[in-house]
């Protein structure tokens, strides 16, 4: 057997014995030094998108989770203009991904959280959202199509299921959604909320941008703070079952 062929088989054998898929970072938004890292586009035609903020002394959001005192702010519109704000950034062609980040509850007076698979061709009005309602008692995973929510929700939970109980006002929390094809897993503060994958079996949205959401029908111009947003993508899984040296050699006889 030639040295080149032996080296190839050795590499293949090592690869076949790897069984754990890892995640590779795609983009982050940490607002380093008070400047945005990514380009964020507004949704719903209301012109609202992230703005960077260095938290001033005495702000109730201090300290933020990373301790750098910088956040991305998404302020909802006037209620006469819909009371909504959404923004999104390009996932660089990735369709299956993990989208996560920290958000600040503030006064708990708006629905706020993450959006994913947002359609850039219609002003990001088609998407999935993972949010906590105003009042902080209900967490929801929903689908919007052309600006309209699909009823019923794909999944929802009362915040009492969280080990720490209902989130308090002026507290930081972490949201995460794992999206693979038409199946989703939702996490709040590292706790997986669904016991089985959430499956969208009716016209699922299979591609799209990632971002944030802030809405209220009763109060406008409310800033929602986000920080340490992160998009990662699982690598292709490798075979979990190993191959013997003899079996590999037989392939090249």
pLDDT bracket for residue 25 (50, 70, 90): confident
Tally the domains of the chain.
2
Is pLDDT above 60 for 241?
Answer: no
- In this structure, the answer to whether residues 46 and 75 fall within a common structural domain is yes
- In this structure, the answer to whether residues 5 and 54 fall within a common structural domain is no
pLDDT bracket for residue 237 (50, 70, 90): very low
224: β partners? 74
Instruction: Determine the pLDDT at residue 245.
Output: 37
- In this structure, the answer to whether residues 84 and 197 fall within a common structural domain is yes
pLDDT bracket for residue 234 (50, 70, 90): confident
Instruction: Determine the pLDDT at residue 235.
Output: 60
Q: Please give the span between the terminal C-alpha atoms of the chain, in angstroms, as a whole number.
A: 9
Single pTM value for the model: 0.84
What average pLDDT does the structure give for the chain? 87
Is pLDDT above 90 for 147?
Answer: yes
Is pLDDT above 90 for 71?
Answer: yes
Lowest mean pLDDT among 35-44, 225-234, 242-251: 242-251
Query: What's the CA gap between 78 and 245, in Å, rounded?
Result: 68
- In this structure, the answer to whether residues 4 and 126 fall within a common structural domain is no
Buried b (16+ CB within 10 A) or exposed e, 170-184: eebbbbbbbbeebbb
Quickly list DSSP for the chain: --HHHHHHHHHHHHHHT-----EEEEEEE--GGG--SS--EE-TTS----EEEEPPTT-TTPSPTTSS-EEEEEEPPPGGGTSEEEEEE--TT--SEEEEEEEE-TTS-SEEEEEEEE-GGGTS-SEEEEEE-TTS-EEEEEEEETTEE-SS-SEEEEGGGSTT-SPPSS-EEEEEEEEETTEEEEEETTEE--SS-EE--SS-----EEEEEEE-SS--S-EEEEEEEEEEEEPPP--SS---HHHHHHTT-
Phi first, then psi: give them for residue 212, nearest 5 degrees. Answer: -135, 165
Query: What's the CA gap between 154 and 36, in Å, rounded?
Result: 32
Instruction: Determine the pLDDT at residue 4.
Output: 43
pLDDT bracket for residue 24 (50, 70, 90): low
Q: Which domain holds residue 248?
A: 1-19+238-253
Query: What's the CA gap between 20 and 13, in Å, rounded?
Result: 15
Lowest mean pLDDT among 18-32, 44-58, 135-149, 166-180: 18-32
Average pLDDT over residues 31-36: 97
Give 246 or 41, the one with higher predicted confidence. Answer: 41
Is pLDDT above 60 for 12?
Answer: no
Instruction: Determine the pLDDT at residue 251.
Output: 35
- In this structure, the answer to whether residues 249 and 230 fall within a common structural domain is no
- In this structure, the answer to whether residues 101 and 224 fall within a common structural domain is yes
Query: What's the CA gap between 175 and 177, in Å, rounded?
Result: 7
Instruction: Determine the pLDDT at residue 227.
Output: 98
- In this structure, the answer to whether residues 251 and 197 fall within a common structural domain is no
Query: What's the CA gap between 13 and 5, in Å, rounded?
Result: 12
Average pLDDT over residues 99-116: 98
Is pLDDT above 50 for 140?
Answer: yes
CATH number, residue 197: 2.60.120.560
- In this structure, the answer to whether residues 140 and 246 fall within a common structural domain is no
Q: What percent of the chain has pLDDT over 70?
A: 83
- In this structure, the answer to whether residues 135 and 211 fall within a common structural domain is yes
């Amino acid at each position: 057997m030639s040295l080149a062929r032996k080296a190839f088989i050795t590499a293949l054998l090592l690869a076949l014995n790897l069984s754990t898929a890892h995640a590779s970072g795609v983009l982050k938004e940490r607002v380093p030094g008070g400047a945005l890292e990514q380009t964020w586009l507004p949704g719903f035609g209301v012109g609202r998108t992230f703005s960077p903020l260095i938290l001033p002394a005495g702000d109730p959001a201090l300290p933020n989770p990373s301790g750098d005192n910088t956040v991305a702010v998404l302020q909802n519109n006037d209620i006469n203009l819909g009371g909504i704000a959404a923004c999104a950034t390009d996932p660089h062609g990735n369709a299956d991904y993990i989208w996560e980040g920290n958000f600040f509850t503030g006064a708990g007076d708006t629905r706020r959280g993450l959006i994913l698979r947002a359609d850039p061709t219609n002003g990001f009005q088609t998407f999935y959202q993972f949010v906590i309602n105003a009042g902080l008692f209900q967490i929801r995973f929903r689908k919007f199509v052309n600006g309209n929510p699909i009823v019923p929700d794909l999944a929802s939970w009362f915040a009492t299921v969280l080990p720490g109980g209902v989130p308090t006002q002026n507290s930081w929390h972490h949201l995460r959604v794992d999206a693979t094809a038409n199946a989703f897993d939702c996490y709040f503060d590292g706790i997986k909320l669904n016991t089985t994958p959430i499956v969208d079996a009716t016209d699922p949205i299979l591609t799209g941008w990632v971002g944030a959401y802030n809405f209220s029908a009763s109060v406008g111009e409310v800033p929602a703070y986000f920080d340490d947003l992160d998009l990662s993508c699982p690598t292709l899984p490798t075979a979990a079952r190993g191959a013997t040296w003899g079996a590999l050699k037989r392939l090249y006889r």
